[in-house]
Chains A and B, each alone.
Chain A
Amino acid sequence: MSLNRKYIPIVVTILLFLVMFAAGSFRYTGFFSLQVLMNLLVDNAFLLVTAVGMSFVILSGGIDLSVGSVIALSTMISASLVQQLGWPPLVVIPLVLLMGAAFGSAMGAIIHYFKIQPFIVTLAGMFLARGLCYVISIDTITIDHPFYTAVAQTKIPLPGSSFLSISAVIALIVVAAAIFTAHYTRFGRNVYALGGNEQSALLMGLPVARTKVLVYTLSGFCSSLAGVVFTFYMLSGYGLHAVGFELDTIAAVVIGGTLLTGGVGYVLGTFFGVLIQGVIQTIISFEGTLSSWWTKIVIGLLLFVFILLQRVLTSGSPARK
């Protein structure tokens, strides 16, 4: 059986990751190790969590520009409640997650019930959340609560003297749960249907309103979870955290093979999309002499390639009349 063409983008993504990792391994000594691979997860845990939420939004045919700001706001709220008010982290973290989900569902409800483009609504959400950070404080709030430092320093040992962080494990759990949700639950399939043709989904009797609101709720939840993970990584809350991060996230999803028009793509693709971004950064840091801005250049080029690839694949599909 020949390869189903719907799998081509994801196969390309996975191959690209393998090729880049292999190239790095040949060029740099010490690159080819389990720890380098694990570090991709450790350093990009928050990107992975956010990108998973974004995948659902884009699959449903929407976009969420507020994710970076929601991350910043989550770090800010966590830091101020824990450091300045002395609340216990085990109360603060669920509260922050709830806040993110509520923020997302509010945007989703506005998008659906007022029929406004997601681009505009989430752009407004982006400014709102970013602005709220500065209401809390204009400075960095450093977190030195023992719970946070403990989580940040915990290393989960793996064979071959490599390790994962707690954040990376959280990210992996999120990815696994998302893959199950996308492919084995009605909600997941409704998201694909919505992205395929909203009008049809409505006429087929699917719960379009509920699905749409839930998609943005999920993205808001993932962003705030990424915010929590980010506090473990940075040990601070700051209004300038994760500026422009929504674009990195969208790039990861697109490089992962998800169509921006919705309905086509895989969470697994997003996973590799994130890893590709991580590999580029790792290669550049191994190179040593290159500025880290080269990451942006390479990602920019990759985005072009993937968008062109998608165009070729979709226009070439045999949708004969």
Chain B
Amino acid sequence: MSTQKPILQMTKIHKRFPGVKALSDVNLRLFPGEVHALMGENGAGKSTLIKVLTGVYSIDEGRVEMEGMPITLHSPLESQAAGISTVYQEVNLCPNLTVAENIFIGREPRRFGRILWKEMNRRAAELLSERMNLQIDVTRPLHTYSVAVQQLVAIARALNISAKVLILDEPTSSLDQKEVEQLFRIMRKLKQDGLSILFVTHFLDQMYEISDRVTILRGGEFVGEYMAEELTRLELVMKMIGKELHLLEELPSLAEADQHTLGGEWIRAEGLGRKGGIEPFDLAIRQGEVVGLAGLLGSGRTETARLFFGADKPDSGRLTLPESAGTVRSPREAIRRRIAFCSENRKTEGIIGDLTVRENIILVLQAKYGAFKAISRKRQEEIAGEYIRMLNINPPNPDHLIKNLSGGNQQKVLLARWLLTEPQLLILDEPTRGIDIGAKAEIQKLVLSLSRQGMSFLFISSELEEVLRVSDRIAVLRDRRKVKEVTGKDMSQQHIMQSIAGG
């Protein structure tokens, strides 16, 4: 294989957005007849690289060569013409048209301008059965088929257009196990036909199952290109997260250093699960306990949190509160049972930018009282003032518009909003993402001190150190499964990383 020339070669690619270096010095080589995995955590630059390849973004610096010839990619059409086709996770086809049309629209077989339907249907059926092993009625509208079939149709369209390089962007995230196997069978077949496939995924198992070669990105930088079989799982995870094993210092866990007694079990999930989200798991949280969730992006962290808040309906299992014998089935019920949820999407699901700090703080409390029991202005100001002092919100002005605050301070306002409702369980999904170190430390300290007062936490963060620092217990997730629970001495970076890597 090493003697083969790459069909597509990208060298020293740079892409800047205002204020951000999205890609710097990134290389990518795709060989014919290979499945090449592209891996990286959130913000690693995977999507930017794909958008460069598909011509959605143009690069600032660097070279792209196709079969040794330099090419430029300025639009999706140019990229298609160069032989690069992309199938996105959310299938970009027209659900109302027939399967055959979706494959051929824009290039329908015609005679004197008249579309030859019979010819088109015959060719579509032939293409699907020969290259996709798929025998379906091509005259039915696309939406009558499952996402898996729709994806195969999208691949068939891509192959029919050009197909030297096929990019599959997270194709497996909405497929079940059987459908994934079907897709992999087809990928192997296409590989044998000499196609070069770039496979973007965050599932480690799937990466190892299908890929020959893997390129890892981290923070917009090129980490390296490896043969999949020569890379251990642990190495892979460390390269993605950015830690060398021997460099790992054992950070003292704040939670460990400051032992405290935990109360009784306050909430318990039994066999709780949701198809496509997280497989059924058991997890109980005690009073005053901080339970951390560790795992890679897409391992089911947020999905778990949403189930705990009743934001998504579980397919199986239940969530109960042993002491009060209550259940949680909806966010309303969760709030009534004193569960609060700080979402990871601060901008879209949390703050309301055009309202003031004060208004943002009292929002949920007012909702709890109902629209007819308005909280007086004086009381609002008292509350806002109290929390601004307590959480050290800067600037300490309750009438400041929240959109003008820094990320860390917005996060504190959100915390204040939920703390005000005096929750028993506070779910924090990435509470420290994108905020500065000082604010991070303050939020971590706050979590610890509140837990000492008996509040329970479900704490999610991509930063393993942070999870280790605040948690009494850590549940490790991998590929949408809870794989392990660690406490006490086992709570070390090395141990948890091994669990994340699995295998």
CB-based contact A6/B141 at 8 Å:
yes
Greatest chain A CB density within 10 A among B80, B94, B114, B115 is at B94
Closest to B275 in A: A321
CB-based contact B114/A263 at 8 Å:
no
The distance in angstroms between the C-alpha atoms of A62 and B320, with both chains bound, is: 49
Decide yes or no whether A197 CB sits under 8 A from chain B: yes
Chain A residues with CB below 8 A from B92, complex form: 197, 199-200, 203-204
CB-based contact B93/A184 at 8 Å:
no
Q: What string of 1s and 0s marks CB contacts (under 8 Å) between B254-277 and chain A? A: 000000000000000000000010
Q: What string of 1s and 0s marks CB contacts (under 8 Å) between B141-160 and chain A? A: 10110110000000001000
Chain A residues with CB below 8 A from B143, complex form: 317, 319
Closest to B140 in A: A4
Residues of A within 8 A of B (CB): 4, 6, 180, 183-186, 189-190, 192-193, 195-197, 199-201, 203-206, 263-264, 317-321
CB-based contact B95/A193 at 8 Å:
no
Closest to B150 in A: A319
Decide yes or no whether B503 CB sits under 8 A from chain A: no
Quick one: which of A180, A186, A196 contacts B108, CB cutoff 8 A? A186
The distance in angstroms between the C-alpha atoms of A263 and B105, with both chains bound, is: 14
Greatest chain B CB density within 10 A among A183, A203, A320 is at A203
CB-based contact A197/B93 at 8 Å:
yes
Decide yes or no whether B110 CB sits under 8 A from chain A: yes
With A186-B106, A189-B105, A200-B92 in contact, is A321–B114 under 8 Å at CB? no
Give me 19 other A-B pairs in contact (C-beta within 8 A), A185-B115, A205-B106 excluded: A180-B114, A183-B115, A184-B117, A189-B97, A189-B105, A193-B94, A193-B101, A195-B96, A197-B94, A197-B95, A200-B93, A204-B105, A204-B157, A205-B77, A319-B143, A320-B146, A321-B146, A321-B147, A321-B174
Chain A residues with CB below 8 A from B80, complex form: 205
Decide yes or no whether B370 CB sits under 8 A from chain A: no
Quick one: which of A185, A203, A319 contacts B95, CB cutoff 8 A? A319
CB-based contact A263/B113 at 8 Å:
no
Closest to B88 in A: A203
Q: What string of 1s and 0s marks CB contacts (under 8 Å) between B109-145 and chain A? A: 0100111010000000000000000000000110110
Closest to A183 in B: B115
With A189-B101, A190-B105, A319-B143 in contact, is A204–B93 under 8 Å at CB? yes
Chain A residues with CB below 8 A from B502, complex form: none
Chain B residues with CB below 8 A from A320, complex form: 146
Quick one: which of B77, B105, B114, B141 contacts A193, CB cutoff 8 A? B105
Chain A residues with CB below 8 A from B454, complex form: none
Chain A residues with CB below 8 A from B147, complex form: 321
Quick one: which of B77, B94, B114 contacts A200, CB cutoff 8 A? B94
With A184-B114, A186-B108, A199-B92 in contact, is A317–B144 under 8 Å at CB? yes
The distance in angstroms between the C-alpha atoms of A193 and B105, with both chains bound, is: 8
Closest to A201 in B: B94
CB-based contact A193/B97 at 8 Å:
yes
CB-based contact A192/B115 at 8 Å:
no
The distance in angstroms between the C-alpha atoms of A117 and B346, with both chains bound, is: 30
CB-based contact A196/B96 at 8 Å:
yes
The distance in angstroms between the C-alpha atoms of A196 and B92, with both chains bound, is: 11
A-B contact pairs, 15 of them (CB 8 A): A180-B114, A189-B101, A189-B108, A189-B115, A192-B94, A196-B96, A197-B94, A203-B76, A204-B92, A204-B93, A204-B105, A205-B76, A319-B143, A321-B146, A321-B276
Chain B residues with CB below 8 A from A197, complex form: 92-96
The distance in angstroms between the C-alpha atoms of A203 and B76, with both chains bound, is: 7
CB-based contact A206/B106 at 8 Å:
yes
Give residues 164-199 of B contacting A (CB, 8 Å).
Answer: 174
Chain B residues with CB below 8 A from A196, complex form: 94-97
The distance in angstroms between the C-alpha atoms of A133 and B81, with both chains bound, is: 50
CB-based contact A186/B94 at 8 Å:
no
Q: What's the nearest-Cβ distance from chain A to residue B151, in Å?
A: 12
Chain B residues with CB below 8 A from A264, complex form: 96
Chain B residues with CB below 8 A from A193, complex form: 94, 97, 101, 105
Residues of B within 8 A of A (CB): 76-77, 80, 92-97, 101, 105-106, 108, 110, 113-115, 117, 140-141, 143-144, 146-147, 157, 174, 276
The distance in angstroms between the C-alpha atoms of A264 and B142, with both chains bound, is: 13
The distance in angstroms between the C-alpha atoms of A190 and B140, with both chains bound, is: 18
Q: What's the nearest-Cβ distance from chain B to residue A182, in Å?
A: 11
Closest to A4 in B: B140
Q: What's the nearest-Cβ distance from chain B to residue A321, in Å?
A: 6
Chain A residues with CB below 8 A from B105, complex form: 189-190, 193, 204, 206
Chain B residues with CB below 8 A from A201, complex form: 94
Chain B residues with CB below 8 A from A186, complex form: 106, 108, 110, 115
With A204-B106, A321-B147 in contact, is A263–B140 under 8 Å at CB? no
CB-based contact A318/B94 at 8 Å:
no
Closest to B98 in A: A6
Greatest chain A CB density within 10 A among B76, B96, B97 is at B96
Closest to B54 in A: A203
Greatest chain A CB density within 10 A among B77, B95, B97, B101 is at B97
Q: What's the nearest-Cβ distance from chain B to residue A177, in Å?
A: 13
Greatest chain A CB density within 10 A among B80, B105, B144 is at B105
The distance in angstroms between the C-alpha atoms of A74 and B140, with both chains bound, is: 42
Closest to B147 in A: A321
Chain A residues with CB below 8 A from B114, complex form: 180, 184-185
The distance in angstroms between the C-alpha atoms of A189 and B105, with both chains bound, is: 7
Q: What's the nearest-Cβ distance from chain B to residue A258, in Å?
A: 12
Chain A residues with CB below 8 A from B140, complex form: 4
The distance in angstroms between the C-alpha atoms of A267 and B228, with both chains bound, is: 55
Chain A residues with CB below 8 A from B76, complex form: 203, 205
Q: What's the nearest-Cβ distance from chain B to residue A309, in Å?
A: 17
Q: What's the nearest-Cβ distance from chain B to residue A196, in Å?
A: 3
Q: What's the nearest-Cβ distance from chain A to residue B480, in Å?
A: 15
The distance in angstroms between the C-alpha atoms of A195 and B96, with both chains bound, is: 8
The distance in angstroms between the C-alpha atoms of A263 and B80, with both chains bound, is: 26
The distance in angstroms between the C-alpha atoms of A204 and B157, with both chains bound, is: 9
Chain B residues with CB below 8 A from A319, complex form: 95, 143-144
Q: What's the nearest-Cβ distance from chain A to residue B465, in Å?
A: 36
The distance in angstroms between the C-alpha atoms of A4 and B117, with both chains bound, is: 17
The distance in angstroms between the C-alpha atoms of A4 and B115, with both chains bound, is: 22
The distance in angstroms between the C-alpha atoms of A163 and B114, with both chains bound, is: 33
The distance in angstroms between the C-alpha atoms of A199 and B92, with both chains bound, is: 8
Q: What's the nearest-Cβ distance from chain A to residue B81, in Å?
A: 9
The distance in angstroms between the C-alpha atoms of A6 and B439, with both chains bound, is: 57
The distance in angstroms between the C-alpha atoms of A311 and B70, with both chains bound, is: 52
The distance in angstroms between the C-alpha atoms of A37 and B146, with both chains bound, is: 45
Closest to B157 in A: A204
The distance in angstroms between the C-alpha atoms of A199 and B95, with both chains bound, is: 12
CB-based contact B115/A263 at 8 Å:
no
Ordered nearest first, which 8 A-B pairs have the shortest CB separation? A196-B94, A263-B96, A196-B96, A200-B92, A203-B92, A193-B94, A184-B114, A184-B115
Chain B residues with CB below 8 A from A184, complex form: 114-115, 117
Closest to B115 in A: A184
Chain A residues with CB below 8 A from B157, complex form: 204
Q: What's the nearest-Cβ distance from chain B to residue A43, in Å?
A: 33
Closest to A207 in B: B106
CB-based contact B146/A263 at 8 Å:
no
